[in-house]
Structure 1
Amino acid sequence: MVRIGKLPIKVPSNVQVEVNENIIQISGPHGKLFRKISDLISVKLSDNIIYVKKNEDTRIANQLYGLSRTLINNMVIGVSQKFERTLQLQGVGYRAQLKDKHLVLNLGYSHPILILIPVGIDIIVEKNVGIIITGFDKEVVGQLAATIRSKRPPEPYKGKGVLYKGEIIKRKVGKSGK
């Protein structure tokens, strides 16, 4: 049932790919990424198209087959066009600002929360309540967005917290008073 692994990956003209045994290195206008691929998987480059193949027909090789193809595809997309995650702060007094290499969040606690911005990540704060995270590594962008969201996840009664853009919070009815 492996279908994703069979799809070839088209490499844009502004991206360079190097395959050395089990290490694939992809560089483009936005950055340079490399990843070690399992021995169960082989990667071949021909005519600006990357092919991923299984070396064995085992369960683990099947699992790594689609995963490896997706990771390589994300690397190609990331160095050619960056990934982006948008967060929104909802709540009275919730705001964000940039100071040096830190993102400062005021989320209703008695203290501000400082988050160090990793190398290769750009953060834009819009109107103190919108945070746009961009970067060429999808894993780092997603992890940073999840870390920021975990500082004050949205709650179902008032809808306050840090939300992904477009996220809909199912609201609950509070206690009914007599």
Structure 2
Amino acid sequence: MSRIGKLPIPLPSGVDFTVERNHVTATGPKGTLARALPAQISVKVADGSIVCERPTDGREHRSLHGLTRTLVANMVMGVATGFRKDLELVGVGYRAAKQGNELVLNLGFSHPVRITPPEGIDIEVTDPTHFAVVGANKEHVGQLAAKLRKLRPPEPYKGKGMMYRGEVVRRKAGKAGKGAK
């Protein structure tokens, strides 16, 4: 039995949640999110919480039950508080700046990399080596952060590159450390 799917989702104050067949909409202070859910799982709002129910204990229904509950919980949390992915740049000359809505990254290439975030996603630059991707949709925030990190992933020899805040890069010894005793 799905342990995740059985948990009710508390509905915070200021968040409006509507269900129309298999289409749900969450509206809150951070924006509006809408999603089509699997038709087999029913979503109901009762007593200030959201409950997901499945018709049978079949394998497919069990897996969709937990998935649906997690998707709805992420929508509610996104419109209430939002999601954030912090990134940092490590390396000489690596820096980030914001020009208007664009993020301008100097990553050691011959040209600066300019990124325009999609609708509903914002990029906050706190200092030249630290910035964050912020938004209501968890999937879009994570996808943009992964796309940015892929531009210059951290390398294991010197530890340079773009990484998530708190990420530990496993370091390698290199040529000099290989044969030394």
Q: Which amino acid in structure 1 is aligned with residue 113 of structure 2?
A: I
SS of the aligned residue for 1:25 comes to strand
Task: State the alpha-carbon separation in 2 of the partners of residues 127 and 70 from structure 1.
Answer: 34
SS of the aligned residue for 2:51 comes to strand
- Could you state the TM-score of these two structures normalised by the residue count of structure 1? 0.95
Unaligned runs of 5+ in 2: none
Task: State the alpha-carbon separation in 2 of the partners of residues 38 and 105 from structure 1.
Answer: 40
SS of the aligned residue for 1:171 comes to coil
Q: Which amino acid in structure 2 is aligned with residue 89 of structure 1?
A: L
The aligned counterpart of 1:75 is 75
Per-residue CA deviation, residues 37-60 of structure 1 (Å, 9 max, x unaligned), is: 111111011111110011243322
Runs of 4+ in structure 1 over 3 Å off: none
Q: Residue 14 of structure 1 contacts residue 80 of structure 1 at CA under 8 Å; is this kept in 2? A: yes
Are 1:104 and 2:101 an aligned pair? no
Aligned length: 178
Task: State the alpha-carbon separation in 1 of the partners of residues 25 and 55 from structure 2.
Answer: 20
The aligned counterpart of 1:11 is 11
Task: State the alpha-carbon separation in 2 of the partners of residues 126 and 81 from structure 1.
Answer: 20
Query: What is the RMSD computed on CA atoms of the aligned residues?
Result: 1.4
The aligned counterpart of 2:114 is 114
The aligned counterpart of 2:95 is 95
Are 1:149 and 2:163 an aligned pair? no
Task: State the alpha-carbon separation in 1 of the partners of residues 49 and 125 from structure 2.
Answer: 38
Task: State the alpha-carbon separation in 2 of the partners of residues 143 and 61 from structure 1.
Answer: 27
SS of the aligned residue for 1:39 comes to coil
Task: State the alpha-carbon separation in 2 of the partners of residues 145 and 63 from structure 1.
Answer: 27
Q: Residue 16 of structure 1 contacts residue 28 of structure 1 at CA under 8 Å; is this kept in 2? A: yes
- Displacement of 1:123: 1.3
Unaligned runs of 5+ in 1: none
Q: Residue 85 of structure 1 contacts residue 142 of structure 1 at CA under 8 Å; is this kept in 2? A: yes
Q: Residue 82 of structure 1 contacts residue 135 of structure 1 at CA under 8 Å; is this kept in 2? A: yes
Report 1:24-173 matches (<5 A).
24-173=24-173
Task: State the alpha-carbon separation in 2 of the partners of residues 10 and 41 from structure 1.
Answer: 18
SS of the aligned residue for 1:63 comes to helix
Task: State the alpha-carbon separation in 1 of the partners of residues 148 and 116 from structure 2.
Answer: 11
SS of the aligned residue for 2:175 comes to coil
Task: State the alpha-carbon separation in 1 of the partners of residues 134 and 52 from structure 2.
Answer: 28
Structure 1 stretch 99-108 or stretch 135-144: which is displaced more?
Answer: 99-108
